[in-house]
Amino acid sequence: MTDQPVSLAPVAVNLLGQVEHPVFGDSPYRIDADGAPYVPVGDGGLVLGVRLGDSVFDTSGDHVAPGACLVHPDAAAQHALLLYACIGNRAEVRTGASAGAVGAVLGKRGETGRVIAGFDADELAAMRPGDQVSVRAIGQGARPDWLPADVTLMNLDPALLPKLPVTAGTASTAGVEVSVAAVVQAKKAGNGLGRPAPAWCLDLQLTAADGIGLRFGDLVAISDIDARYNMGYRRGWMTIGVLGHGASPLPGHGPGMTVIATGPARSLRPRDDGAGHTGLTASMLMLP
């Protein structure tokens, strides 16, 4: 007998989402960390002019995502879209002026729940709220044979994993080593704590003033957070995610990472490469 989980072939599922229209309540304002009101531009919907590799701090928006946010009007279907979609999954526009355009899932966004999909800039500009986008979802539950039993992967297309800076351990260095742009402490964890990691991002309470240069697509590690189920504090644990949306003036919020790996720090080891880090890129996803 062995504790190593059996490696099973993942199943693909076709999903349907629609491009979200931004929504507001009866007030256009949110209140920032200093008590000042602001209009949260770029929180959901279609965001233009922001791409993988851009700084998460260089826009004046709120939770800006580099692409189209996908939702579904039926609550149960919305949950399925969120849970099944994985970073790297193929996304294809089915209706509207950009019908036939092919992109990829870049991450997830909490709150009402959104899947973030990236496309060519011109195709994205021609899209409109309400356009239908299909997602070929595959990856939840998948695990390669070399993965240690105590490390959990999620939200990641199996075909994308070999392209990311994730290295299997050797006989002398057991576990998994992952290149990251930064390692942050659990005290920086914000919105997303207590939520299920397969359907929610984890905001990092970071601003440009912290001096950590982060970009859309960067892999980031956060210590002492267990994200196998609902995300929460656990000493000696490590969680790694991909930055899918930008910073926020809102207290308790910030750049959001979609979790891709979690496990004991002895088995999941981040390597802080700072500015030399290369995370998720457009070329990995075959985006222009």
pLDDT tier at 5, thresholds 50, 70, 90: low
Domain assignment of residue 5, yes or no: no
Is 236:223 a contact under the CB 8 Å cutoff? Answer: no
User: Are residues 117 and 217 both part of a single domain?
Assistant: no
Task: State how many domains the chain has.
Answer: 2
Is 165:275 a contact under the CB 8 Å cutoff? Answer: no
pLDDT tier at 1, thresholds 50, 70, 90: very low
Mean pLDDT value across residues 109-133: 95
Q: Which of 110, 137, 164 is the last residue of a domain?
A: 137
User: Are residues 168 and 55 both part of a single domain?
Assistant: no
Domain assignment of residue 285, yes or no: no
Q: What is the pLDDT of residue 111?
A: 77
Domain assignment of residue 170, yes or no: yes
pLDDT tier at 9, thresholds 50, 70, 90: confident
Mean pLDDT value across residues 226-241: 97
Domain assignment of residue 142, yes or no: no
Closest Cα partner for 163 from 247, 28, 74, 283? 283
User: Are residues 207 and 167 both part of a single domain?
Assistant: yes
Q: What is the pLDDT of residue 240?
A: 98
Coil, helix or strand for 152? strand
Mean pLDDT value across residues 30-46: 93
For 210-222, how does the pLDDT look when each residue is reduced to its tens digit (9 = 90+)?
Answer: 999 999 999 999 9
Please indicate whether residue 173 or residue 205 has the higher confidence score (pLDDT).
205
User: Are residues 164 and 270 both part of a single domain?
Assistant: yes
Domain assignment of residue 7, yes or no: no
Task: Identify the CATH number of the domain in which residue 128 sits.
Answer: 2.40.10.170
Q: Which of 137, 165, 189 is the last residue of a domain?
A: 137
pLDDT tier at 168, thresholds 50, 70, 90: confident
User: Are residues 121 and 157 both part of a single domain?
Assistant: no
Please indicate whether residue 8 or residue 160 has the higher confidence score (pLDDT).
160
User: Are residues 76 and 160 both part of a single domain?
Assistant: no
pLDDT at 169 over 80: no
pLDDT at 35 over 50: yes
pLDDT tier at 8, thresholds 50, 70, 90: confident
- Amino acid at site 221: A
Domain that holds residue 187: 152-276
User: Are residues 202 and 230 both part of a single domain?
Assistant: yes
Mean pLDDT value across residues 162-190: 89
User: Are residues 129 and 195 both part of a single domain?
Assistant: no
For the chain, the average pLDDT equals 94
Instruction: Tokens 């003036």: give the residue.
Output: 249
E strands in 66-146: 68-71, 90-93, 102-109, 114-118, 132-137
Residues above pLDDT 70, as percent of the chain: 96
Domain assignment of residue 286, yes or no: no
Mean pLDDT value across residues 271-275: 95
User: Are residues 271 and 208 both part of a single domain?
Assistant: yes
Q: What is the pLDDT of residue 2?
A: 47
Coil, helix or strand for 79? helix
Mean pLDDT value across residues 150-173: 88
Q: What is the pLDDT of residue 10?
A: 87
- Cα dihedral across residues 235, 191, 47, 30: positive or negative: negative
Instruction: Tokens 């256009």: give the residue.
Output: 28
User: Are residues 124 and 202 both part of a single domain?
Assistant: no
User: Are residues 63 and 169 both part of a single domain?
Assistant: no
Domain assignment of residue 126, yes or no: yes
User: Are residues 28 and 91 both part of a single domain?
Assistant: yes
For 84-95, how does the pLDDT look when each residue is reduced to its tens digit (9 = 90+)?
Answer: 999 999 999 999
Q: Which of 137, 164, 199 is the last residue of a domain?
A: 137
Task: Identify the CATH number of the domain in which residue 187 sits.
Answer: 2.102.30.10
Mean pLDDT value across residues 116-141: 97
Domain assignment of residue 143, yes or no: no
Instruction: Tokens 């914000």: give the residue.
Output: 190
User: pTM for the whole thing?
Assistant: 0.94
